[in-house]
Structure 1
Amino acid sequence: MAVTDVNVIDGIAFDDDNKTLIMEIYDHLHFEGKFEFDHIVILQDKLNTYLWYIESKQYADIYPDKQFDNFVINIHFRYEITENCKKYINVSNQKLSVLNIKIVSYLNTIDTE
């Protein structure tokens, strides 16, 4: 499971106290050079899958007895994100706030030694 598997939900959980569905995206791609644009398009495609999943209430298949009021999409980046990616996430958050959907980004470096 990774950002390149655009039709797959990488991870899903819930927070009962806050009636929040929490979804995870694991992004292992870099943003170097000309690949930055392609990377943001891949991320956009992945997020669109997650938004469809939320809007169509597909989560009810996994959590049939749960009612969610809020939705969080955590993106775990392997590499530092660019200013353009930050802008994309910020604009997305502004538009999604009316649906109680929030995107949160994390930088997760992995030691390979």
Structure 2
Amino acid sequence: MAVNEYFQVDGLGINNRNESDLILLINDTLNWVTDDEKQHLEHLQNKINAYVEYIRSKQYKHVYPDDEFNEFTIDIHMNSYPTELAIKFFDMVNGDLEKENIKVIVAIDESSQEEPTSCG
């Protein structure tokens, strides 16, 4: 699945350190250096919005009917380091979703050869 496939959850699982936390995976294979930054951000925004709706509508109950979750983590796996604008976007998203106990985290593929973006 890809970041531009908005209505498909790339992965779903229970946090093994906190069973009240449902983790939703986004597999972002786009590259911040070679791909269009604006379009990349739009894809991420649309995918995150779809995941938030998935959480709000409790669609996860189809997979975990007997589990109750009060925390949600959207875990974005990337192949390249995000730009400064992307980092600001993630900060804004986390601020907006905090009241709903939803957080967005980013993991970078360790084999990435690029240098990290400065967050100055």
TM normalised by structure 1 equals 0.91
Map of 2:88 onto structure 1:
87
Matched, 1:41 2:60: no
Gap runs ≥5 in structure 2: 113-120
Cα deviation, 1:54-77, whole Å, max 9, x if unaligned, reads 000000011000000100000001
Matched, 1:32 2:57: no
Map of 1:72 onto structure 2:
73
Map of 1:10 onto structure 2:
10
Q: Which runs of 4+ in 1 moved over 3 A?
A: none
User: Secondary structure of 1:73's match?
Assistant: strand
**Number of aligned positions between the proteins:** 111
User: Secondary structure of 2:3's match?
Assistant: coil
Deviation for aligned residue 1:32: 3.0
Map of 2:51 onto structure 1:
50
Deviation for aligned residue 1:33: 6.4
User: Secondary structure of 1:25's match?
Assistant: strand
Partners of 1:79 and 1:109 within 8 A in 2: no
CA–CA separation in structure 1 for the residues paired with 2:107 and 2:33 = 18
Cα deviation, 1:1-20, whole Å, max 9, x if unaligned, reads 11121111000001364401
CA–CA separation in structure 2 for the residues paired with 1:47 and 1:23 = 10
Gap runs ≥5 in structure 1: none
CA–CA separation in structure 2 for the residues paired with 1:41 and 1:109 = 25
Map of 1:96 onto structure 2:
97
